[in-house]
Each structure stands twice: as C-alpha cells, then as structure tokens.
Amino acid sequence: MARCLIIGCGCRGRSLARELRALGHAVRGTTRDPGRLAEIEGSGAEAVVGDPNVVATLARSFEHVSVACIFLGSATGDPGQLAALHGTRLDMLLTRMVDTTVRGVVYEAAGSVDAALLEAGAALVRARCEDARIPYGLLRSDPENPGAWTAAAVGTISRTLDGDPVRPR
C-alpha cells in the first residue's frame, strides 16, 4: 500500500484519512494549528504541523510519500493570500515535491475559494505534473457533500496511485 499526505487535513481530510487507513494506506495529515494534532491522530493519520504558506514547513512531511493531496479548495484568508496559496505558493510546493518520493498529486479544484483561483491552480498542477511526468488528479467534487466528496477523493487518489497516464480526472 501507499503513504498518502493530506495537506489541509481538516474535517473532510480526517474523514478521508479514516477511509484510506481502512484500505490499508498509511496517511500523514498536516495542520497549521498544533492544537489540532490530536484530532488528526484520532483519525489514524500521522499528524504534522505545516503551513502551505511557508512551504519549508512541509518539506519533512514529503518523506516516504507516494501521493500528495493538496486540499485547500475551502481555505480562508484575504484575496491576496488565497491568490498566492493557489498560485506562487502552490508552484513552489510542486517544485519542492519533484525531488522527493512523491509520485502523484491530487489537487482540490472545488470549494469556497474563488473558482478562477481554483482553475488557475488546477492549470498549474496540470502543467507542472505533465512536465515532470507525474500522475495527477483534479478533485472537483462539491465539498458541501462530505460523503460524496470523500468517495470521489478515494477514487481520485486510487487512480493517481495506479499511475494512470497524466491527464485530468
């Protein structure tokens, strides 16, 4: 089985972690808030403090990871912060991943963040992953329906782990 990294392991991420653990995968989940570590560990995932706005804080979390899930489609912040998170910070994150064990990326391209920012982020993931020949998936399931979202996330992760040819899902 594989190790899955969930960047942005909030409520939906913890639910996904439980599903992935039930399938036999190892899971690592990140949070910016040290007070949330116990909640992540309660889902069966290894909890790590890391902030996608400070990419260096995530570097150690890439160790022994097969697929990285970037679930920031409902991140909060001012418009400039969100633009950076789904633009320059995302680009830096993807660049850092290329020289690690990460061999697949799943990007949440739906959520409460402005749709144009999510589409720009999806285009960036597509471009960087295709250039590096890394399989990727674009999770477009509505996060307002957590059950369907989790099922779609599991399917997208599975296809990415299977090494499907590089193409959007």
Q: Which pTM does this prediction carry?
A: 0.94
Q: Over 90: is that where the pLDDT of 103 sits?
A: yes
Q: Over 70: is that where the pLDDT of 87 sits?
A: yes
What average pLDDT does the segment 49-68 reach? 95
pLDDT score of 166: 44
Q: How confident is the model at residue 153 (pLDDT cuts 50, 70, 90)?
A: very high
What is the secondary structure of 103-164 as a DSSP string? --EEEE--SSS-HHHHHHHHHHHHHHHHHHT--EEEE---TTSHHHHHHHHHHHHHHHHTT-
Residues near 139 by beta carbon (within 8 Å), at least 6 away in sequence: 69, 71, 73, 106, 107, 108, 109, 110, 149, 152, 153, 156, 169
What average pLDDT does the segment 80-86 reach? 97
Class of domain 3-161: alpha beta
Task: Give dist(CA 49, CA 99) in Å, integer.
Answer: 21
Q: Which amino acid is at 115?
A: A
CB-based contact 122:138 (threshold 8 Å): yes
Give residue-wise pLDDT tens across range 3-26. Answer: 999 999 999 999 999 999 999 999
Task: Give dist(CA 71, CA 38) in Å, integer.
Answer: 19
Q: Which amino acid is at 167?
A: R
Quote the tokens at residue 57. 């804080």
Quote the tokens at residue 23. 């399938």
Q: How confident is the model at residue 58 (pLDDT cuts 50, 70, 90)?
A: very high
Nearest alpha carbon to residue 49 among 34, 64, 27: 34
